[in-house]
Structure 1
Amino acid sequence: MSLSNPLNVLLIPPILYLVFRLIVPHPLKQTPAASTYTEENYNWLPAKHPEVICHRKYTAKELLEYDGTKSSPRILLAILRIGSDGKWGERTVFDVTAGKTFYGPDGVYGNFAGRDASRGMAKQSFELDMLTPVDQPLDKLSDLTQAEIDNMRGWHEHFERKYIVCGELVEDN
């Protein structure tokens, strides 16, 4: 290596630094030995595991428990999924807790919380008569126009991009 080349002169300090760090490791990057483990230094675990929601099937009565006003702080709602081929799928249950200002008890869409919002979303209506009573079978939605079905599909796609899918709404047997 010739010192007449200025590039060689510039490379000498970084090379020396790397060799020094190989011989003398940085004190902050050393890991403690396994024998130094104690309960006191293993304290990153939370005091209580946060509430989680598992993907499962809900009946209309079970879904109603998640309207943001009862014992559960979660807010769920369901919308019928319609595939791109036009076939009707299941009613997807979404966890919309992150949007509680919209779907909570005082929100604009608060009446959809804990309910099947398919008809209301399809018709763009927040009226209470858009909701099927929880003690009746799920709404067949057979009277919807193609424009309303397309609107509901758009809402479902929006919810899939924005909220967590946590289940499926099924008939109460």
Structure 2
Amino acid sequence: MPGKAMIVTIVVGVVSVLYAYGYLVPLTRVLMVYVPVNVKSTIAYYIDLSDDTADVKSTSDRIFTKDELWKYRGEGDIYLAVLGQVFDVTKGRKHYGPGGGYEFFSGRDGSRAYVSGDFTEAGLVDDITGLSLTDIRGLDDWVKFYRKDYTYVGKIVGNFYDAAGTPTTAYREYEKQLAAAEDDKKLTAADYRRFPPCNSESAQGKGRRLWCSTLSGGIQRDWAGLPREYYRPGTTKPRCACVKDVGPPSETSSTTTADNNKGDLDNPNVKVYPGCDPKSISCSFNDF
């Protein structure tokens, strides 16, 4: 009779093989009911038997070719794909069905068009090369939207997944870009907190006005700041930013109350607008 140690070794070996070939999750959850506690803990050491529905789903994904997906754009079920992920949007027929405002998205992966706005045949493609980080975040938002409001059904063979449903190099590159986009979003948020956007208004015949307040740019704070032309590092075009000086403007004047501490006004990335009083919280331009 084989000893307990040998039995454990054999069971673990069999389970490991099942795991390697993708048969583990459904079978093992049944068998584990009859496995002794000490053996169960040994198996759990080597593999994860948690109820991970995402992993189960990935093994049962339907894989579409482009020709197959193209069939789902008419009177029957309506499917579309974003970043290679296919969704059933039949319940949104009035939008995605024949004559709908988004009919051109149906039956294909038109990822690029979701953020480029180019709804021609040349723009409705799955090539996202050269998109900005903002566009990459936009695509991620679209995927989240479809996963929330519609039904995920599988993947399409193309730029993002191969015939086995495995992510391609292009998809891995997208993931890297998305990570960079999220980092950039955090940096941008921090940048806007430090240099909030100015208020602005323009009118024909009256020119343009830029000014700062404690809520300009939608960012609440206890200081108003002064309008400056701000060049964020790494960018080529400036924006109007409210730059922190030394405190709130005088209640009776549009100028600051102290001059001995310039706050962020000495930052090399900010410049006074030509023709604007460097101490004023408001600047007007006759550029119409």
| Local SS of the residue matching 1:168 | strand
| Local SS of the residue matching 1:129 | coil
Where do 1:69-88 residues align within 5 Å? 69=75, 73-80=76-83
Distance apart, 1:55 and its partner CA:
4.3
- After TM superposition, where is structure 1 displaced by more than 6 Å over at least 4 residues in a row? none
Residue-by-residue CA offset, 1:123-162 (whole Å, 9 max, x unaligned) = 2343332123xxxxxx331111111111111111001000
Where do 1:53-132 residues align within 5 Å? 55-69=61-75, 73-80=76-83, 91-132=84-125
Seq. identity, %? 37
Report 1 or 2 for greater relative contact order, CA contacts < 8 Å, sequence distance ≥ 6. 1
Q: Please, what is the CA RMSD of the aligned residues?
A: 1.9
Where do 1:1-173 residues align within 5 Å? 55-69=61-75, 73-80=76-83, 91-132=84-125, 139-171=126-158
Q: May I ask how many residue pairs the two structures share in their alignment?
A: 101
TM-score calculated relative to the size of structure 2? 0.33
| Cα distance in 2, alignment partners of residues 166 and 77 from structure 1 | 10
| Cα distance in 2, alignment partners of residues 126 and 162 from structure 1 | 22
| Cα distance in 2, alignment partners of residues 124 and 151 from structure 1 | 12
Task: Confirm or deny: 8 A CA contact 2:112 2:127 kept in the other structure.
Answer: no
| Local SS of the residue matching 2:155 | strand
| Cα distance in 1, alignment partners of residues 86 and 96 from structure 2 | 14
| Cα distance in 2, alignment partners of residues 130 and 109 from structure 1 | 14
Segments of 5+ residues of structure 1 without an aligned counterpart are 1-53, 81-90, 133-138
Segments of 5+ residues of structure 2 without an aligned counterpart are 1-59, 164-288
TM-score calculated relative to the size of structure 1? 0.54
Residue-by-residue CA offset, 1:9-59 (whole Å, 9 max, x unaligned) = xxxxxxxxxxxxxxxxxxxxxxxxxxxxxxxxxxxxxxxxxxxxx840001
